[in-house]
């Protein structure tokens, strides 16, 4: 404003206008407009300038006038409008669809998060967004990352900040908080947003079959591997040290708990399944179930394993070379149980007797089941086939579904005896039949069981009967007695006969 007693100085030779910032730095206001009426002015662009009090200095000089420099201290306040930050967003990465998904409710603690906030700075300042998290396990605000938006002074900054984070742990489940610190060009404009709650829960996992489905295992003496791999769907990794329960059926229907295993360093879960006698032979089911406080309780599908038991055959009769006279019946008694001492009714049973003498085999049938697992069969030693004499081995073969077959051989189980049999007898002298000659008495016999037989010649003399005996054994054997002790008193017709007796008292 011009005072009444002032006279404008028209057309000064030098005229400048300067401004001093709140940081005490000077800058010129250009261009300066000369009105030629003693007024001088300029237009100053405050875009991007420092907030605070600014001073103005006017400088002028002209010939025949004293020079002047006038300072207007803290002449005006330059205001920087604070950044507007709003619409805080929380997203988790879906590794299946490969995209960010907005978190609406609870979310797994192991997820990969993207925290966002919308930014508007009307003056075009560059803006830094700093993210802080207060984890449930610590209760302390932690700086976890930042984003920076480059502004263009004078052009409103409109953008979003985002910070990804994957640092929560299992013990952070529950209520956690996030907060942004917003910084623009002026420190006085720095401020924190309101905190936002983030509720974390158990991580999502899935179980992947590796091996063990449609497997086979021998009960009590064998094992098979059940193997799966656990995948953390929220982190897309295969975590270590995750506890998993193992279940299997014992009766084809109801699951039983077998134990707890933990994943190894690459997420594999291995269980060596070795069924004992509490498991029934046949098709059984098995499964894994996550049993860990850090992960959701999920179960695998039902998988199949087939358990095979062991048949065990026992022959109780005959044993130890029990003797039977040919023509009599031989009854074989036996039973079948499994390795768990349970009697078993089998699907197939064959019982055979094999001659050690001729290697002939004889099938014993029909085989009858008297009671559960107890069997018998009978065959005649002479009909419809005459069985060779001497020792026999008995074999018993059995089969049943879901059991390993069994074959048992009992050696020298029974012995078929035969009676000695004389089939030819004759006598003749060494000459024309005189009493002083040597008489020969010949007998042919057979005894198939090869017993030692006593062959006795019974010979009539004038004074009575005399006997001569020899020992012999075999099949189709000829025995000769020589007698040369007749006297003249024996002249006439004499009788003789030959008998045979084996060691068991059988005679002919």
- Give the tens place of pLDDT for each residue, 16-47: 888 898 888 998 888 988 888 878 888 887 77
Contacts 24+ apart (CB under 8 A), 38-41: 38/2, 38/7, 38/8, 38/9, 38/10, 39/8, 40/12, 40/15, 41/17
Question: Is there a domain that residue 508 lies in?
Answer: no
Residue 9 has pLDDT above 80, yes or no: no
pLDDT tens column, 66-107: 888 888 888 877 768 889 999 999 999 999 999 999 998 899
The span from the CA of 120 to the CA of 84, in Å, is 5
Rounded Cα–Cα distance for residues 36 and 39 (Å): 7
- Looking at residue 34, what is its pLDDT? 82
| Domain end (from 372, 402, 417) | 417
Q: What is the mean pLDDT of residues 415-439?
A: 91
Whether residue 323 is found in the same domain as residue 393: yes
Pairing of strands 322-325, 406-417: parallel
Q: Considering the domain boundaries, does residue 106 fall inside one?
A: yes
Collapse the DSSP code of 48 into the 3-class scheme (helix H, G, I; strand E, B; otherwise coil) and give the result.
coil
Given a cut of 90, whether residue 63 has pLDDT beyond it is no
Pair 135, 195: CB distance under 8 Å: no
Q: What is the pLDDT of residue 44?
A: 82
One domain for residues 281 and 380: no
Dump pLDDT digits (tens) for 101-130: 999 889 999 999 999 999 999 888 899 999
Residue 256 lies in a domain: no
pLDDT confidence bin for 188, thresholds 50/70/90: confident
CATH of the domain at 462: 2.60.40
Q: Residue 178 pLDDT > 60, yes or no?
A: yes
* Residue 10, pLDDT score: 78
Tell me the CATH number at 330. Answer: 2.60.40.1930
CA pair distance 41, 21, nearest whole angstrom = 19
Residue from 251, 252, 263 nearest 288 by CA: 263
CA–CA–CA angle 255, 260, 264 (5° rounding): 130
* Residue 179 pLDDT class (50, 70, 90 cuts): very high
> pLDDT averaged over the chain?
93
Same domain for 68 and 93, yes or no, is no
Structural domain contains residue 413: yes
Answer yes or no: is pLDDT of 5 > 70: no
Number of domains in the chain: 5
**What is the signed CA dihedral for 237, 239, 245, 246, rounded to 10 degrees?**
70
Per-residue pLDDT band at 1 (split at 50, 70, 90): very low
- Both 117 and 194 in one domain: the answer is yes
Find out whether 303 and 209 touch, Cβ atoms under 8 Å.
yes
Considering the domain architecture, whether residues 89 and 180 belong to the same structural domain is answered as: yes
Mode of pairing for the β-strands spanning 215-218 and 303-317: parallel
Q: For residue 142, what are the CA distances in angstroms to 127, 128, 134, 200, 380?
A: 20, 17, 6, 17, 97
Band (pLDDT 50/70/90 cuts) for residue 2 is very low
Q: What is the pLDDT of residues 374-398, one digit of tens each?
A: 999 998 999 889 999 999 999 999 9
- Are 319 and 269 found together in one domain? no
pLDDT band at 431 (very low <50, low <70, confident <90, very high): confident
Is 140 part of a structural domain of the chain?
yes
User: Please, are residues 148 and 106 in contact by the beta-carbon 8 Å criterion?
Assistant: no
Task: Give the C-alpha separation, 272 to 223, whole Å.
Answer: 6
Whether residue 498 lies inside any domain: the answer is yes
What is the phi/psi pair of residue 172, to 5°?
-90, 0
CA-wise closest residue to 397 among 354, 360, 359 = 354
Contact of 75 with 54, CB cutoff 8 Å: yes
Could you give the percent of the chain with pLDDT greater than 70?
A: 98
Domain hosting 227: range is: 209-244+262-286+297-301
> Is residue 4 very low, low, confident or very high in pLDDT (cuts 50, 70, 90)?
low
- 97 and 71: one domain? no
Least reliable range by pLDDT among 77-81, 289-293, 304-308, 475-479: 77-81
Q: Which of 464, 467, 466 is nearest to 455 (CA)?
A: 467
Question: Domain boundary at 51, 78, 105, which?
Answer: 78
Task: Say whether pLDDT at 330 is over 50.
Answer: yes
Comparing 50 with 463, the larger pLDDT belongs to 463
Containing 506, the helix (H) or strand (E) segment is: none
pLDDT at 279 > cutoff 90: yes
Q: Which of the four pLDDT bands, split at 50, 70 and 90, describes residue 14?
A: confident
Q: How many residues does the chain have?
A: 508
The reported pTM is 0.76
| pLDDT bracket for residue 309 (50, 70, 90) | very high
Report the C-alpha gap between 112 and 93 in whole angstroms: 6
Decide if 233 contacts 96 (C-beta within 8 A). yes
Residues 405 and 468 in one domain: no
- 3-class SS of residue 315: strand
Alpha-helical (H) ranges within 73-188 are none
Is residue 90 located within the same domain as residue 195? yes
Instruction: Give the three-state DSSP class for 205.
Output: strand
The DSSP letter of residue 49 is P
Are the C-beta atoms of residues 242 and 263 closer than 8 Å to each other?
Answer: yes
* 92 and 179 together in one domain: yes
Query: Do 398 and 453 belong to one domain?
Result: no
The answer on pLDDT for 136 being more than 90 is yes
Quick check: 276 pLDDT over 90? Answer: yes
Residue pLDDT, tens place only, 214-236? 999 999 999 999 999 999 999 99
Both 147 and 118 in one domain: the answer is yes
Q: Is residue 257 part of a domain?
A: no
Q: Which of 359, 311, 358 is nearest to 334 (CA)?
A: 311
Q: Is residue 85 a contact partner of residue 119, using CB atoms and an 8 Å limit?
A: yes
Is residue 4 assigned to a domain?
A: no
Region 60-68: mean pLDDT is 83
Listed residues 354, 386, 417: the one ending a domain? 417
Q: What is the mean pLDDT of residues 159-163?
A: 97
């Amino acid at each position: 404003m011009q005072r009444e007693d002032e006279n404008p100085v028209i057309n000064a030779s030098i005229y400048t206008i300067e401004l001093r910032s709140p940081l005490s730095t000077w800058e010129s206001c250009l261009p300066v407009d000369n009105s030629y009426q003693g007024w001088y002015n300029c237009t100053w662009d405050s875009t991007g300038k420092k907030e605070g009090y600014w001073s103005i200095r006017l400088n002028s000089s002209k010939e025949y006038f004293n020079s002047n420099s006038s300072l207007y201290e803290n002449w005006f306040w330059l205001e920087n409008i604070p950044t507007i930050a709003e619409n805080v967003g929380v997203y988790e990465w879906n590794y299946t669809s490969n995209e960010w998904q907005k978190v609406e409710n609870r979310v797994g603690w192991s997820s990969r998060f993207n925290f966002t906030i919308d930014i508007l700075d009307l003056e075009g300042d560059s803006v830094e967004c700093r993210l802080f998290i207060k984890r449930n396990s610590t209760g302390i605000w932690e700086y976890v990352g930042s984003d920076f938006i480059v502004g263009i002074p004078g052009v409103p900054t409109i953008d979003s900040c985002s910070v990804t984070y994957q640092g929560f742990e299992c013990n952070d489940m529950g209520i956690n908080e996030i907060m942004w610190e917003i910084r623009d060009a002026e420190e006085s404009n720095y401020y924190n947003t309101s905190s936002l709650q983030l509720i974390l829960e158990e991580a999502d996992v899935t179980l992947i079959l590796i091996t063990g489905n449609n497997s086979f295992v021998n009960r009590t003496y064998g094992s098979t591997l059940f193997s799966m791999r656990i995948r953390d769907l929220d982190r897309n990794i295969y975590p270590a040290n995750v506890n998993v329960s193992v279940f299997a059926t014992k009766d084809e229907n109801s699951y039983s708990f077998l134990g707890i295993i933990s994943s190894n360093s690459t997420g594999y879960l291995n269980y060596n399944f070795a069924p004992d006698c509490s498991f029934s032979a046949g098709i059984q089911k098995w499964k894994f179930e996550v049993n860990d406080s850090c992960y959701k309780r999920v179960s695998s599908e039902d998988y199949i394993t087939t358990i095979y038991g062991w048949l065990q055959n026992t022959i109780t009769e005959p044993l130890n070379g029990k003797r039977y006279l040919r023509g009599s019946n031989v009854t074989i008694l036996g039973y079948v149980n499994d390795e768990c001492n349970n009697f078993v009714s089998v699907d197939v049973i064959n019982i055979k007797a094999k001659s050690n003498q001729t290697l002939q085999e004889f099938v014993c049938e029909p085989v009858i089941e008297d009671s559960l697992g107890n069997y018998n069969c009978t065959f005649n030693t002479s009909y419809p086939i005459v069985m060779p004499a001497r020792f026999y081995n008995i074999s018993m073969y059995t089969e049943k579904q879901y059991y390993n077959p069994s074959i048992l051989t009992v050696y020298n189980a029974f012995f078929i005896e035969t009676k000695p049999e004389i089939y030819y007898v004759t006598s003749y002298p060494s000459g024309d039949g005189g009493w002083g000659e040597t008489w020969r008495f010949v007998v042919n016999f057979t005894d198939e069981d090869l017993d030692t037989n006593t062959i006795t010649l019974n010979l009539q003399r004038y004074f009575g009967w005399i006997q001569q005996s020899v020992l012999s054994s075999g099949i189709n054997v000829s025995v000769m007695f020589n007698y040369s002790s007749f006297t003249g008193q024996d002249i006439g017709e004499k009788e003789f006969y030959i008998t045979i007796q084996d060691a068991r008292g059988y005679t002919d």
